[in-house]
Structure 1
Amino acid sequence: MSEVKIVATLTPLKQHVDTIRSAAQAMVGPTQLEAGCLQYDLHESRAIPDVRNLANEGAVSFVFIERWKSEEDLKKHVAMPYHDDFLEILDGKLENISVQRLEKL
C-alpha cells in the first residue's frame, strides 16, 4: 500500500479562533500515537492579503500536514471517537474547511 498525504485547512469564524485552536491542538497527541501515523503536524497561519507586503494581517487558519502509511490507516483515524468529537466541536464554527489529498508529481 502506498503512503497517503493530506493537507487539511480550517478557517474559523473570528469569534471561534481560540476554541478551534484548542480543539486542533488536542488532536495532535492522540493522533501521533496511532500506529499508521507517519506525520501529523499542526500549523497556525495568517492570510497575507498582499504579497508585496508580507504582514500577517489576514484571517487565521489552522493547517494539518498529515502522512499515513496507507488508506486503511487514514480510515482508522477518521473512525476514532476523538475525531468524531473534533468534528462536533467544529460544527458551525468554521468559515471554511479544505481537505486535500496530495499526489507527488
Structure 2
Amino acid sequence: MSMLTNVAFFTARPGQGDALGQRLLALVGPTRQEPGCVRYDIYRASDSAERWFVYEDWRSPADFDGHMQTPYVQAFTKDLDALCSEAPDIRTFKRRSGAAER
C-alpha cells in the first residue's frame, strides 16, 4: 500500500475560531501516537481567525480509516456542526515525487 496524504480545511462559525483550534490541537498528541501516523500538523490561516487546516500523512489508507474510528476523532466529529459554519473540505492525495533528501 502507498502512503496517503490528507488536507482538511475547516471554517469556524463566527467567534468560534479559538474553540475550533483548541479542539483540533487536542487531536495532535494522541494522533501522533497512532502506529500509522507519519505526520499530523495543524495550521491557522494568517488572514482569518476562523480558517484552519490539518495536514496529515498516513502509511496506508487502512491506518487513516483506523484513525477516524478512534474515540477522540469520533467525539470531535460530533461537535463539528456546533463549531463550523460548513462541512470540512477534505482532500486526499498520493505523493508522486520521491522523498526530499536533506
TM-score range, shorter chain: 0.7 to 0.9
Could you say which structure has the higher strand fraction? 1
Equivalent residue for 1:70, pick from 60, 73, 81: 60
The equivalences for 1:14-93 within 5 A come to 14-46=14-46, 56=47, 58=48, 60-93=50-83
- In structure 2, how many angstroms separate the alpha carbons of the residues matched to 1:82 and 1:8? 17
Q: What residue ranges of structure 2 are gaps of 5+ in the alignment? A: 97-102
Task: Give the Cα separation in 1 of the matches to 2:89 and 2:23.
Answer: 17
* 1:2-30 Cα deviation digits (max 9, x unpaired): 00000001110112112111100100110
Which runs of structure 1 show a deviation greater than 2 angstroms over 4 or more consecutive aligned residues? none
Tell me if the contact between 1:23 and 1:89 (Cα under 8 Å) persists in the aligned partners.
no
2-structure distance, mates of 1:5, 1:91: 24
Aligned partner letter, 1:30:
P
* Unpaired stretches in structure 1, ≥5 consecutive residues: 47-55
> Deviation string for 1:21-73 (max 9, x for gaps)?
11001001100000000000001114xxxxxxxxx3x4631110000000110
Task: Give me the whole-angstrom Cα distance separating, in 2, the residues matched to 1:18 and 1:83.
Answer: 18
TM-score, L = length of structure 2: 0.85
Q: 1:11 touches 1:59 (CA, 8 Å); kept in 2? A: no
RMSD of equivalent CA atoms = 1.4
Query: In the comparison of the two structures, how many residue pairs are matched?
Result: 95
